[in-house]
Amino acid sequence: MKEIAKITIKPTELVSEGSWGARSLGKHESTMTLYSEEPKTYAMIEWDIPSLDEVEQIGLWFEGKTLTEYDGVMSLPREAIQFLRKQGYTVPREFE
């Protein structure tokens, strides 16, 4: 996969979510790196949170430039949605 874009996110309140519920992780700086492959029907965001020693991988599926599905996190982070939109992708409101 090829790196497409990268963004550093200022300290933001993070929440860990699962089928068991949610819990606050506090405020942390993080980095999101967008990777894509050809054909561009699949991409991935690698979300690095160094202060928590955590790296999350968010799988992304597209039809054209429109997001149709994601996997790897319970809900798509607001920062990931904004990041994708800045890269020219359409993220339907249902993912907000």
| One-letter amino acid of 42 | Y
Alpha helices in the chain (DSSP H): 78-86
- Residue 67 near residue 84 (C-beta atoms within 8 A): yes
pLDDT in tens, 14-72: 888 878 888 888 899 999 999 998 777 999 999 999 999 999 999 999 999 999 999 98
Distance CA 15, CA 87 (A): 25
Residue 29 pLDDT: 95
pTM for this prediction = 0.88
Residue 95 has pLDDT above 80, yes or no: yes
Residue 56 pLDDT: 92
What does the DSSP 8-state code read for residue 20? Answer: T
The token pair that represents 93 in the structure block? 């409101």
